[in-house]
Amino acid sequence: MSRHSVPALLRANSQADRVVPPSGFTARLTVFSAGAMAFLAVFAMALSFATGRLADRWSQELARTATVRISAPEGQLAAQTAAVLAVLETTPGVAAARALDEAEERALLEPWFGPDLPLDALPIPQLVEIIESAEGFDAEGLRLRLQAEAPGAVLDDHTRWREPLVGAAERIRMLGLLAITLIAATTAAMVSLAANSALAANGQVIRVLRLVGARDSYIARAFVRRFTLRALAGATAGTLLGAIAIALIPKAQTADGFLTGLGFQGAEWLWLLILPPAAATAAFFATRLAAFRSLRKLS
């Protein structure tokens, strides 16, 4: 296998390359296909990284806060709020708990009801903001204790609506990885088709080589080398163009923006470097398989 490895192939003699006549059109198609696939792979990769970051951010930011909502008759609200705060102070995993004052609640409601909301006239529930410590608290245990101390208190630890969001982000990330796999498989399939057409078009060349005593591996190498180099060149160009396109996407400042977050950060850019060799490797094995299969059919 060592004689047929990809690095050995790149060093291989040019004479073996010349025994197969140059085929302009198939060559250009192979380069173009590899380039287009690499370009698409760049975006699939960017999508996977972006959704991965989004999922991480959502789980981290939302996991650190929770809210207790207290709905009680007018007279009991203050008492229940005090009870809730007392419970929270003795709950392990709660770093801080604070009842929101009227102005803060008004600010929260303003976007929905306008600035002239008569807050006094409405039975607005009291909100208590909880900041978790790093280890977090036991939500079920806290819920039971709150129920006992303040029947009108409801703990909302955000898990309920955080989980589907994170799940969706993870699913999109899986789809991105699946897209990369499909792109790799399609590249191999297209190179196989191109190699088969080249092998069929060069039947006479292959016959002459067999007649003068060339072994199958020599003949296969001439084709394999050619298609591997084409895929490498095409994928390099495609990756480069894809990277430039990603870099040129206008940056918006909204941290939660999904589409504007599409791209690579820091070391993530280095992952692009595996695309050209991956395409070359796919082409290498696809052509090798096609070459040996079609050579075995000949005398």
**What secondary structure does DSSP assign to 75-87, as a single string?**
GGHHHHHHHHHHH
Shortest Cβ 293–other proteins spacing (Å): 13
Strand partners, 98: 129
Residue 179 engages other proteins in binding (rule: CB under 8 A): no
Shortest Cβ 286–other proteins spacing (Å): 22
3-state secondary structure of 138: coil
Cβ(233)–Cβ(31) below 8 Å: yes
Phi, psi of 259, rounded to the nearest 5 degrees: -70, -40
Whole-angstrom CA distances from 137 to 98, 184, 248, 264 are: 16, 45, 43, 34
- How many residues belong to the site for other proteins (CB under 8 A)? 22
Shortest Cβ 25–other proteins spacing (Å): 16
Q: Which stretch binds other proteins (CB under 8 A): 123-131, 156-164, 203-211, 282-290?
A: 203-211
Binding to other proteins, residues 210-229 (CB under 8 A):
210-216, 218
Residue 267 engages other proteins in binding (rule: CB under 8 A): no
Shortest Cβ 12–other proteins spacing (Å): 11
Binding to other proteins, residues 15-34 (CB under 8 A):
15-16, 18-19, 21-22
How many CB atoms sit inside 10 A of residue 252's CB? 10
Question: Is the CB of 12 or the CB of 85 nearer to other proteins?
Answer: 12
**What secondary structure does DSSP assign to 159-209, as a single string?**
HHHHHHHHHHHHHHHHHHHHHHHHHHHHHHHHHHHHHHHHHHHTHHHHHHH
Residue 60 engages other proteins in binding (rule: CB under 8 A): no
Residue 13 engages other proteins in binding (rule: CB under 8 A): yes
Q: Which residues bind other proteins (CB under 8 A)?
A: 13, 15-16, 18-19, 21-22, 205, 207-216, 218, 295-296, 299
